Structure 1
């Protein structure tokens, strides 16, 4: 009897986990995918990938406009663009901008209800932001609601520039690592900036002198 009761309790406790939503996925994409895999899925090329930082970690981004892709299988209704962010070749963040025409008239509560149908109940509903005490906040995306677990975070956000809603899906650990690497890359660029500028100027001077020497021999008035 005790054994049966214990099993029943375990099943009750495990039930929410069995039905927990996978926050690492967004449509056809999964955090941790390789850059090559995302390029294949979106029918893009390496030429479309932008290198943000090359050290201490390789940070890359690729913007995809689904409506520009031929074939219904790759079209994603309601999406204007998706920005994929990679750290050392692995997808760590997906930033989705929704098509304003597809979300026209929808309230934040409407969006939260729709997203909750996929990811479960929101764990955080963003409080109202007092613009008088957060003057610099307007430069960032405004959080509306979040869905979180230990590894991943899904965030409904609003752009401060055009008031368009979007969704940011990220790996907490990988995103933190990418942010640290990006901050370190900025420091390295600042430290090495004067040296690189001196090297650039020297090369420019050397190239000009080489051209001068060549033209001195070949120029005829």
Structure 2
């Protein structure tokens, strides 16, 4: 596992927090899942595992492929001494198949943990880490934020990446089903192209709908007000 990260290991690292990180993880070297969530699962399986409502599944786009997103905030683990370290987890589906898991860890539950601590902990499940690119990646959603890659675990079918955001700082984990990564990226680009191409027609159609809605509103008011109007 990688050992060359800045900062020393916290001397009095909480064993409770380490257990909370380790307990959901399976046997070493298993890159097919995170906790009980299997990459490649269908939407109904993940809904059952999370207890989420089907209406919580959002459609990102429907064509050229159906891409759906479920955002979930897990509850605390089995006891009060084992807090839930994940603040939220996002599941992305490509044509009904789970291909992406994104975990955002609670900054307070990982406070004091160094990059080495995190890599070592995840290594219990994923095995020896591969060294990622050292170039920080900007995070578009957060002004001034930088995402620092820390470690990567990969085989022929799956990939997990651990990173740290400067905002907080917070740790993030990304899991990918590799065979669907390229199709999903291609579909997203094509969806944007189709949206841009059809935007003028959508705007024109919306204007017509708005005019018709306003006309219907005025006609309804006319039918109500005309009989009772007295000059």
Displacement, 1:213?
Answer: 3.0
Displacement, 1:199?
Answer: 0.4
**Does 1:174 pair with 2:180?**
yes
Displacement, 1:39?
Answer: 0.3
CA deviations 1:108-166 (Å, max 9, x no partner) are 0111111111111012243254xxxxxx7353643211001111101001234432001
Could you say what the CA RMSD is over the residues aligned between the two structures, in angstroms?
2.3
The aligned runs of 1:128-207 (5 Å cut-off) are 129=136, 137-139=138-140, 141-207=147-213
- The answer (yes or no) to whether the contact 2:148–2:163 under 8 Å persists in 1 is yes
**Does 1:93 pair with 2:94?**
no
Return the alpha-carbon distance in structure 1 between the equivalents of residues 83 and 54 of structure 2. 22
**Does 1:39 pair with 2:47?**
yes
Match of 1:215 in 2: 221
User: Structure with the greater relative contact order (CA < 8 A, sep ≥ 6): 1 or 2?
Assistant: 2
The number of residue pairs the alignment matches comes to: 194
Match of 2:30 in 1: 22
- The answer (yes or no) to whether the contact 2:135–2:148 under 8 Å persists in 1 is no
TM superposition score normalised by structure 1: 0.80
Unaligned runs of 5+ residues in structure 2 are: 1-26, 141-145
- The answer (yes or no) to whether the contact 1:67–1:80 under 8 Å persists in 2 is no
Unaligned runs of 5+ residues in structure 1 are: 1-18, 130-135
CA deviations 1:13-51 (Å, max 9, x no partner) are xxxxxx972211111101000110000000011111111
- The answer (yes or no) to whether the contact 2:33–2:39 under 8 Å persists in 1 is yes
Match of 1:13 in 2: none
Return the alpha-carbon distance in structure 2 between the equivalents of residues 183 and 91 of structure 1. 19
Which stretch has the larger CA shift, 193-202 or 94-103?
94-103
CA deviations 1:144-201 (Å, max 9, x no partner) are 1100111110100123443200111111221221111111101111111110110011
TM superposition score normalised by structure 2: 0.76
Q: 2:85 aligns with which of 70, 74, 78?
A: 78
More helix by share: 1
Return the alpha-carbon distance in structure 1 between the equivalents of residues 131 and 113 of structure 2. 20
Give SS of 2:150's match.
Answer: strand
